[in-house]
Structure 1
Amino acid sequence: MRNQTKVLEFLFLGLSDQPEQKQLLFRLFLVMYFIGTLGNLLTILAICFDSHLHTPMYFFLSNLSLLDLCFTSTTIPKMLVNYLLESHTISYAGCLAQMYFFVAFGGSDSILLSVMAYDRYLAVCHPLHYGTVMTSHLCALLVTVPWVSAHLIATVHTVLMAQLSFCTNNQIPHFFCDINSLIKLSCSDTYVNEMLVLLLGGILILIPFICIVVSYTPIVSAVWKISSTHGKWKAFSTCGSHLSVVILFYGTIIGVYFNPSSIHTAQNDMIATVMYTVVTPTLNPFIYSLRNKDLKGALGKLLDLNPFSKRY
């Protein structure tokens, strides 16, 4: 048997080793994290405090904002602290915990997006039956399923990762504990881990993406039949912005985890990862929530932007 040294911590190589670029990246990610966190918190608070928004659509939006907040908080704060302290290490236990929550919150986010697409399909294509189908019990079930299933899958990945051995190489060519990066570092047989990444990843990513495409196809068809030109293009604008973020989110994830390893490059994978871990969660509250007229009104009441509102 070859000599093995138990790894007690991992070292992030990060996005760049240039001091100037590190400072730029720190400021960029700090601003994006602040904007995304503020947008998601305002969305949650506005929906919670406005009784007019206690409907299935806004219930799903509030849960999406909560998941995005948790998802970005899994990786970005640690990265910012590393840049600030110029320390790029993470403990073995901390790395497994980060990987667990990254898979759990990212997977929940993915499934919930397909649930929201189904909700919009019912509202647009079957409006007369929407109230009877989308009951409070069904809404609770549709939100519980993403959380429970994603956490179960994250548990499977974490338990299997804990069984692997890591030798002298502890350098992760990333800014967080990515499951593929950890598998490549292991000196154990990783066949089962690699197969489960594809199999369980299909449940968390590919199936929800297909469901979204299937749901939005009749939605687009229904929107096309709108007689008003203004109403038609307004609806297309909304659907188009939603689908753009969805394609950016799923497209980058599929490119990283489901493409053959022969066509992967470290730089392309890093850019794609930034897109689905930082950019799309930052855009979600603005695309799904803050462009909404009712939600903007609720935010105005929450922030009391109109000083004369209390006089009338």
Structure 2
Amino acid sequence: MSDYLVLVSPSANRVYAADAPRLMAAETEQVLGVPATVTELAGVAYVGCAAAAADIPALSGLSGALAVFEHEGDLLRPIPLQRSEIYPDDLVTIQKYQGKTNESWTRLCLNVTNAHVTTKGPRRTVLDPMCGRGTTLNTALLLGYNAVGVDIDKRDFEAYELFIKTWLRSHRLKHTIATSHRGTRLDLETACDKDAFTAGNTQKITYLRTDTTALDGFVPKASVDLIVTDTPYGVLHGSHAGRDLSRGPLELLDAALPGWLRTLKTGGAVGLSYNRHVAPTDDLAQLLDGHGLQVVVRDTFRHRVDASIDRDLMVGVRAGRN
């Protein structure tokens, strides 16, 4: 075991940047299962922990990791990053629009939820059942996962279709992509290079334009390993919930979870980013418990987004039989 310090990447979002070191320390504890602390050296924030050399890929893949150092006395020895990204990171950074979830937070949610998944298989599949313009889908693709997204909004579906087609062409990646004639389903298959595509080492993304509370017949049973999504925040994000604004987030989740959970494998996990102002933590935990999920992460990643959004992450795991 050695002492490592992870330099926290700067963020253009000043509010999130203030909390990023603390959030990444909590992420480290979830992903590696070891204590982590925030350390300042010469006024610069690092996340520190004791870990093995085999943990370098996990440290490199933390949501805000800019560089990794081995800490020896007063010296920092740079350690080459071992990234899991297989595509250029502009896949998740280039899109800019009002209401976009911070891509660092999306990656943290994926990392923490994935840390609690015990399913087996060569490549995991992520479901975002309220995916909007696809930040989770693109982050999953970047990290080597398959992904399924669901959203009923036609504008978001079309915006994602335009973006991903343009991005694939601009990076000259071999791919197949098809949209149904009614514009309700997009299927993408691609790979990080031509050789991988030819060998069948590909990733798939499916985007379904449908009601998230009615997934039966759209997403196969027990086909996804983790579900990660932004629940309605009660403000701008409230429109990403199947567009039924007459229901609060807890009522919507209560209606949607049975369908979501039918898609989840045994050993899978659900990670929900939520606004504590409109979905109190105890109520959300009780709701997940009532749907057969064991809550394993709560009250750990709380941070302020703005005056109306007090954001946190809750993770529940599914045990037993599908």
Structure exhibiting the larger radius of gyration computed from Cα positions: 1
Richer in strand (by share) = 2
Output the TM-score relative to the length of structure 1.
0.26
Tell me which of the two structures has the higher relative contact order, counting C-alpha pairs closer than 8 angstroms and 6 or more residues apart.
1
Output the TM-score relative to the length of structure 2.
0.25
